[in-house]
Structure 1
Amino acid sequence: MDFSRTDLRVSREKLIRLQTDRSVGDMVRVCILYGSRRGATRTVAQAIERALRKKGYNPRAVEVKQKPDVADCDLVIVGAPVYYERPLPEVLRFIEEQGGLAGKKVTVFILAMAQKFGKHGREYAERRYLRLIMEPIKGDVISSRVFEGWLFRKNETTIKEAQTWAEEVVKLAGGEPDELCRPRG
């Protein structure tokens, strides 16, 4: 399955449920949780956070090794790099420690070098790496995406793609920020 282009397609019933399962006037609380070794995933997570702030949301990006509390998060965006054919173990461990994020709307992104090997590399990354990171998730995964990672020079294309993807996902999870300007009360 090509998650890179079809990840935002959902059934009509699921879309209606996502749009109506919160009170009118609620602000979607977005938590961006990530693991990073060399800084690329951190850079993407922070870029997503900045992009969502510009759109009127109030996200928070936190590294999983800080053991963030996700109880008040409506949408959890999970990000991990791939090392030695597996998503970063501390991200998988965090998901398990949080009960698989049960009851949460979840989106997942990974950074992988497999995209450098063309169509087959991208398909492999989607099939293998996304499956591995989504296995422990018990929440409602509404979107997933593989982005091209980097080693030395920041990949601006990846950052822009991730920001656009996150904006679309947050809208899917809870509506426009203008409609959601009042905090929960």
Structure 2
Amino acid sequence: MIKPTMAFVSFKDITVEFLKKNNIDAILLDVDNTVSPPSSKKIYDGVEEWLDEIKKSGIEVIICSNNFRKRVYPFAKSVGLDCVAMSLKPLPFGFIRAEKKLSVKPKNALVIGDQIFTDILGAKLAGMKSALLVPQSPDKGKTIKLRRKLELPMRKKLYGEDYLSKYNLLERDDKK
């Protein structure tokens, strides 16, 4: 239930060609540590260009975040997307709301995020494909640090020690 359908280092690695080849009609995109640093109004370099390319291809994109409306709505508006805030991931309710907004079948939707126990598990429960990304920023909150520790054995099993070392996922908590 917690193994992602696919894994990438960054959103930039997910191409239109790859999405089309895998029959993806819609993307449900997490925010924090996926396309933006946690609690930041900034977006990572390349997000706008990537989103433009995806949207031009006809693939729909919606933000699906556990964060509060106050955080998610302004962010979504700044990148020209609709959104579902307080999605309660991993429960499927937010994914189902996003699916209905986009009129897409779950099997043709891809959830992109950085957390196994919210994004990936939630995608599975909603019948959607999932793409696990390497967290793009350091983790600050105690709960996310705990979740990262719980994810570590699964990430090791999926990707191996070299992968974890390369992206500093083993030492991440020690650097704060």
Shorter-chain TM band:
0.3 to 0.5
Q: TM-score, normalised by structure 1?
A: 0.33
Structure with the bigger percentage of strand: 1
Q: TM-score, normalised by structure 2?
A: 0.34
Structure number with the bigger relative contact order (C-alpha 8 A, sep ≥ 6) is 1
